[in-house]
Amino acid sequence: MFQRLLLLFIIVPILEIYLLITVGGFIGALPTILIIISTAIIGTYLLRAQGIATIQKAQSNLLQGQLPAFELLEGMLILIGGVLLLTPGFFTDTIGFIFLIPILRKYIILWWIKKKASEMTPNSQPHQPSTLEGTYRREDDS
């Protein structure tokens, strides 16, 4: 896990710098900066709108006596998407927008749930009953 995070913190900034330099070379520095600022503004608006909608869905589920598990996962992706949109760069903005588009967010969550469910249940072995160990002591009824 640590190695993946380290790799992520090395590769993503390098990719962002490369993309900023490349795009800046094509369209110029000022338009590149304006695009980055506008994506942050749009991201903030989308974060607010999607967050409010998700909170309302979660409250509705709670009022119906249902656990808002899906909405909690949505909220997590919305938060991550908002943070990514506030981070300057084109790669993080793309991932952030993907997390803030409801249909794509739904597919990401369903894929993640399916992946975690398959990791939790081993396919090669049938379910084996577990044995409980303990001590037994008989007490008289008198």
Considering the chain, what is the average pLDDT of its residues?
Answer: 87
pLDDT one-digit tens code per residue, 77-128: 999 998 898 888 999 999 999 999 999 999 999 999 998 888 876 654 555 6
pLDDT at 1 over 90: no
Start-to-end CA span in the chain (Å): 60
What is the Cα–Cα distance from 49 to 18, expressed in whole angstroms?
A: 32
What percent of the chain stands above pLDDT 70?
Answer: 92
User: 75 and 52 in contact (C-beta within 8 Å)?
Assistant: no
Alpha helices, DSSP H, located in 28-89: 29-63, 69-86
Domain boundaries, the chain: 12-114
Torsional sign, CA 129, 130, 132, 133: positive
pLDDT at 130: 72
CA-CA distances (angstroms) from residue 57 to 6, 66, 78, 108?
Answer: 36, 11, 14, 18
